Structure 1
Amino acid sequence: RWLVYLAALIPLGAGIAHLIKAWRAKFERYFQCDEQTMRVVRPISRIGLAARGCVLLIIAALLLTGGSRYSPTDPPG
């Protein structure tokens, strides 16, 4: 059970990090383009990072739920 909880920490941390990256928008320093292009790239990049962060948080929640419901004395089917 504790191993599943430890494994859930990895996507949890990565999901939080992606949400922070989307909020702070520090990815802009890696782009070398004009402002007109950045008006298109900025929201797409933020939405993509936030979506990836949400997916990783969902994976972490599923792992935590699975770890809490796992019972080694009651094997499945």
Structure 2
Amino acid sequence: MDKKEELTFEQAMEKLERIVESLEEGDVPLEEAIAKYKEGMDLAKICHQKLKNAEEQLTQILKDNGEVDNFVIEEE
């Protein structure tokens, strides 16, 4: 398993925020900016996957009799 995939959602977000701040400052050399951008994209994918997994877990509720049922939130 890749070291980045072992990160918690919060750790990945923190690293992503630091990368964004660094790139927004604008004083990063081009090669370093590209590397940071790639790392940021990897971290964003990790965050997205972790959120997706959490959403899938939260869409199931346990009934009183122990059966699992899908939980759907109807949008207005």
Instruction: Give unpaired runs (5+ residues) of structure 2.
Output: 1-7, 23-28, 69-76
Shift of 1:70: 2.5
Instruction: Give unpaired runs (5+ residues) of structure 1.
Output: 1-13, 29-34
The structure with the greater share of residues assigned to strand is 2
**Given the two structures, how large is their TM-score scaled by the length of structure 2?**
0.53
Task: Report the residue type matching 1:71 in the other structure.
Answer: K
Q: Superposition RMSD on alpha carbons, in Å?
A: 2.7
2:56 match: secondary structure? helix
Task: Report percent identity of matched pairs.
Answer: 15
Aligned length: 54
The structure with the greater share of residues assigned to helix is 1
CA contact (8 A) 1:17 1:53 kept: no
- Runs ≥4 in structure 1, deviation > 4 angstroms? none
Q: Which structure has more RCO (C-alpha within 8 Å, separation ≥ 6)? A: 1
